[in-house]
Amino acid sequence: MKVADAVEVLATTYQSLDFVAQGLEVKASEVAAALAKAKPDTVEFVCLTALSKYNPVSTEVASSEPSE
């Protein structure tokens, strides 16, 4: 699903934002990019914040333990 479509769903729902955001499949990187551009105190920002809670950007951390 496109981030813009997910924001539209969240902006028009009468259900819990958290509940609906959990069920929306979006790319975490796209959510993060849109959130970085969104103005605070807007509907878009609130919706993107809910989406980012359930679609976090994952960063792989290299293990610092020596292998034997």
68 within some domain: no
Give me the helices (H) in 1-68, please: 3-12, 17-23, 28-37, 43-54
Total tally of structural domains belonging to the chain: 1
The pLDDT assigned to 40 comes to 94
For the stretch 21-57, pLDDT in tens is 999 999 999 999 999 999 999 999 999 999 999 988 8
12 within some domain: yes
17 within some domain: yes
CA 43, CA 63: separation in Å to the nearest integer?
39
Structural domain that includes position 42? 3-54
39 within some domain: yes
66 within some domain: no
Task: Kindly report whether the global pTM for this prediction surpasses the value 0.75.
Answer: yes
Residue 65 pLDDT more than 80?
no
For the stretch 6-30, pLDDT in tens is 999 999 999 999 999 999 999 999 9
65 within some domain: no
62 within some domain: no
